[in-house]
Amino acid sequence: MSFLKRNINCGELRDTDVSRKVVLNGWAATVRNLGGLIFVDMRDRYGITQVIFEPEFNPELAEKAKEIRSEFVLWVEGEVRLRSNPNQVIPTGLIEVVASNFGIINKAELPPFPIEDGIETGEETKLKYRYLDLRRPELQRKFIIRNKLYQIVHQYYHDNNFLEVETPVLMKSTPEGARDFLVPSRINKGKFYALPQSPQIFKQILMISGFDRYMQIVKCFRDEDLRSDRQPEFTQVDVEMSFIDRDDIISVTEGLFVKVWKEILGLDIQSPIRRMSYAEAMSSYGSDKPDLRFGMEINHLSSGLMSTEFKVFQDIVAANGLIASIKVTNGASLSRKIIDELTEFAKKYGAKGLAWIKISNGEISSPISKFLTEEQMEFIIRSNDAKDGDLILISSDKRNRALTILGALRLEVARRQGIFEKVKNNFEFLWVVDFPLFEYDEEAGRYFAMHHPFTSPMEEDFHLLDTNPGEVRAKAYDIVCNGAEIGGGSIRIHDNVIQQKMFDKLGLSESEIDEKFGFLIKALKYGAPPHGGIALGLDRIVMILSGTDNIRDVIAFPKTTSGLSLMDGSPSEVELSQLNELGIDLFRKTE
């Protein structure tokens, strides 16, 4: 007999089960040996159940139980009975299982860290032993949420007549956008597949094929640097619909979020979700994904400072830049050192400096007060609605830079003031709409598609395409929750002529277009329906649902910041013979 199979799990026994004969399988979470009595907490995915070995009842068994150590895999047969000292902390705390027989199915080495919630072990150790980290209830809870999300997403789109279709993982490398992961072809030496950054083109082609409503929960790959909310492979809920406009995508997507929040968190989210133009988001929050859980909006000051004597402001006004500020309520108590730190923080975003005004006990103190007239100072204070005890932080720069700096400062100040901690159970959704079609890259000296090159311009801005491409707005939209971009999409170009014009604006040559996207252009000529869609960042949604700020917590086997998988040791070198088969020759970097 290798082991007796369980007929009950470690989380389900209650006082109503008293005197049942049961068999448990699981891991020994903790062992408390009192000399005679031995208590073993058995753990599985469902919970923890206390098992007791009594020498009075079964001396040989109790003797054998002394061998049990942490994380041994056990089967235990016994009878359920009420505890004389109940434990109110766990759901099974009213009962215990009196062992009548048991076996060690497998021994375990001493784990490098305790398998329990709230541990402070370093990331490196935890990732190396990911299988042990994943044994912790805290982490399992997140994957249970993730699984619920999969089920709701599939059910929801199925109920709404969407078809799930799988798209290739080996596809053609395309320019624009993120760096591709490349896969060499053995059969076609010197040629490469790319892993999809998203199934964008395939889902559009599925629309041309008449699939009408497509969805897929799909892995995407981008060879870019990692962040706490970015992994090189991640999961999207990919959606595309035909014969629709922007509001159709928005309402279908909102329906999903309403259902998800209701079924997973038991919360009713406000629908319709608020909408804000990209222009307003940037102007008031300095971000295209504003966190609306708190205020601290950006106040624009240029208009009242046109005639300033202050050289720094003068130059900005003359260069058509922007002077703007945020108010830090009760910020006057912040020390010079803290303000210096905030200045350093602002410099990461390209700020040259940071001006500030403190109002404290009726006194105004500011390094720039000597450059401002009383009226100007009054104007700044009034514009910020600042009261005694407040601090005003002022940025003056090129318009977009000044806004970005203040947007970043707004979040940093909120973090330092403990505002995020206060609002951590709030959920503020937002649609950001009317994105620019293009953004200009100074370095490359040309326009790039802000969303992607298949995004449709708004009809009313068509006339600007040739004269002022930077002003053209796109039929693109992002969905934001608590300052995180959790999805984005657009209405696509279904007209081949406009698509050609778009490529033309992006500075792609005829031959380049033909080589990279020829198949899409061709497909668009065969009767493309109007279509559009959205891609939702599933990992980020799970992050928000499970209350974590790190994407590693919601991906079973994540990579480190430098893209390594510490458990399996990838990426790794390969055999020379493998490279030879692929026709690949490596060269070493020489200095």
Partner RNA sequence: GGAGCUGUAGCUCAGUUUGGUUAGAGCGUCUGCCUGUCACGCAGAAGGCCGCGAGUUCGAGUCUCGUCAGCUCCGCCA
- 224 belongs to the binding site for RNA (CB under 7 A): yes
Question: Which residues, in sequence order, are CB contacts of 140 under 8 Å at separation 6+?
Answer: 45, 134
Question: Shortest gap between Cβ of 187 and RNA (angstroms)?
Answer: 28
Is residue 175 part of the contact set for RNA (CB under 7 A)?
no
The pattern of x and - marking residues 314 through 353 that bind RNA according to CB under 7 A reads ----------------------------------xx----
**390-to-301, 327, 329, 330, 367 alpha-carbon distances in Å:** 17, 7, 5, 5, 16
Nearest distance in Å: CB 137, RNA: 14
Strands (E), 228-271: 233-242
Does position 548 bind RNA by CB under 7 A?
no
Strand bridging mode 438-441 / 429-433: unpaired
Burial of 305 (0-12, 13-18, 19+ CB in 10 A): buried
564-583 positions binding RNA, by CB under 7 A: 564, 566
Q: Does 114 bind RNA (CB under 7 A)?
A: yes
Handedness of CA 123, 126, 128, 133 (dihedral sign): negative
Q: Is residue 436 a contact residue for RNA (CB under 7 A)?
A: no
Q: For RNA, which stretch binds (CB under 7 A), given 26-34, 185-193, 205-213, 496-504?
A: 26-34
Spatial distance between the Cα atoms of 252 and 265, rounded to a whole number of angstroms: 20
Q: Does 172 bind RNA (CB under 7 A)?
A: no
How many residues lie near RNA (CB under 7 A)?
A: 68
Interface positions, 28-57, toward RNA (CB under 7 A): 30, 32-37, 39, 41, 50, 52, 54-56
The answer to whether 80 contacts RNA (rule: CB under 7 A) is no
Closest distance between RNA and the C-beta of residue 385, in Å? 28
How far apart CA 184 and CA 194 sit, in angstroms, is 9
Task: Based on the shown chain and the rule CB under 7 A, indicate whether residue 456 belongs to the binding site for RNA.
Answer: no
Binding mask 347-386 vs RNA (x if CB under 7 A, - otherwise)?
A: -xx-------------------------------------
Considering only 213, 358, 452, 494, the residue that binds RNA (CB under 7 A) is 452
Would you say 508 and 464 are in contact if contact means Cβ atoms under 8 Å apart? no
List of residues 6+ apart from 180 with CB closer than 8 A: 173, 174, 194, 195, 197, 221, 223
User: What is the closest distance, in whole angstroms, from the C-beta atom of residue 379 to RNA in the complex?
Assistant: 31
From candidates 151, 228, 303, 468, binder to RNA by CB under 7 A? 228
Asked whether position 444 contacts RNA by CB under 7 A, the answer is: no
Task: Outline where DSSP puts E strands in 180-265.
Answer: 182-184, 192-194, 213-221, 233-242
The answer to whether 225 contacts RNA (rule: CB under 7 A) is yes
From the list 120, 268, 459, 585, which residue makes contact with RNA (rule: CB under 7 A)?
A: 120
Tell how far CA 533 is from the center of its chain: 20
Find the helix packing angle between 137-159 and 246-260, rounded to 10°: 140
**Residue 416 C-beta: closest distance to RNA, Å:** 13
Q: How far apart are CA 109 and CA 73, in angstroms?
A: 11
Q: Tell me the CA distances in angstroms from 515 to 281, 356, 510, one per residue in order.
A: 38, 54, 9
> Which tokens go with 261?
């929040």
Q: Which residues bind RNA (CB under 7 A)?
A: 30, 32-37, 39, 41, 50, 52, 54-56, 69-70, 83-87, 89, 93, 96, 110, 112-114, 119-125, 127, 176-179, 197-198, 200, 222, 224-230, 348-349, 408, 439, 448-453, 550, 552, 560-562, 564, 566
